[in-house]
């Protein structure tokens, strides 16, 4: 729509199904490039993407012409299909249902990018679920423990 201006920065967190450590260092950079392509195809701007074997963080400049849910549907569906077509996993790869999304002001962007870039170093000290809960608490997001990214019981 003409004359619509926005500045929205969104930080996403998502995991393979059951938080399985399936993202292999041998192909993770290709995955991040592929996801970046999906984000750009949807007219958003990738500011940072990184993670570990069991989760991904991405920070994007979000255009308000698409819903957050539509973008994540595209990212998850297209990238899981790509992973499966590449034969990177012995079993069928799927992303876990749901995701975290958090908004940041422009003044915080540099720190969020640095945080995302240092994920592997960060997770030598802090477990993923502990980190995720602390983000939810920092943003005062009500959550149900039963729906936090969990491994199968």
pLDDT at 2: 72
Cβ within 8 Å of residue 9, ≥6 positions away? 47, 59, 60, 61, 62, 103, 104, 105, 106, 108, 109, 112
- Give the model's pLDDT for residue 107: 97
Domain holding 89: CATH number?
3.30.70.1290
**8 Å CB contact between 117 and 48:** yes
∠ CA 69-76-10, nearest 5°, is 50
Instruction: Tell me, yes or no, whether 153 lies in a domain.
Output: no
pLDDT of amino acid 124: 85
Which single residue is written with the structure tokens 């991405």?
58
pLDDT of residue 1: 60
Look at residue 45 and tell me if it is in a domain: yes
Q: Is residue 17 one of the residues assigned to a domain?
A: yes
User: Does any domain span residue 1?
Assistant: no
pLDDT at position 151, please? 60
Tell me how far apart the alpha carbons of residues 34 and 56 are, in angstroms, rounded to a whole number: 13
2 lies in a domain? no
| pLDDT value at residue 150 | 64
Domain extent at residue 58: 8-147
Residue 3 lies in a domain: no
Residue 152 lies in a domain: no
**In the prediction, which pLDDT does 123 show?**
83
pLDDT score recorded for residue 125 = 86
- For residue 92 the two structure tokens come to 């069928």
Splitting the chain (153 residues) into consecutive groups of 10 residues, what average pLDDT does each group show?
Answer: 85 94 96 98 98 97 96 98 96 94 97 96 84 88 77 57
- Cα–Cα distances (Å) from 103 to 7, 48, 81, in that order, read 11, 14, 28
Domain count, the chain: 1
């Amino acid at each position: 729509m003409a004359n619509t201006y926005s500045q929205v920065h969104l930080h996403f967190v998502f995991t393979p199904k059951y938080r399985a450590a399936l993202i292999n260092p041998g192909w993770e950079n290709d995955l991040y490039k592929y996801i970046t392509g999906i984000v750009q195809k949807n007219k958003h701007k990738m500011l940072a993407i990184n993670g570990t074997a069991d989760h991904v963080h991405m920070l994007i400049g979000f255009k308000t012409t698409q819903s957050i849910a539509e973008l994540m549907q595209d990212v998850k569906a297209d990238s899981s299909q790509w992973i499966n077509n590449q034969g990177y996993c012995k079993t069928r790869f799927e992303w876990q249902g749901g995701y975290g999304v958090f908004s940041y002001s422009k003044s915080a962007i540099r720190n969020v990018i640095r945080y995302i870039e240092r994920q592997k170093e960060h997770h030598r000290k802090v477990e993923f679920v502990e980190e995720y809960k602390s983000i939810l608490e920092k943003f005062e997001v009500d959550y149900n423990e039963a729906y936090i990214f969990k491994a199968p019981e």
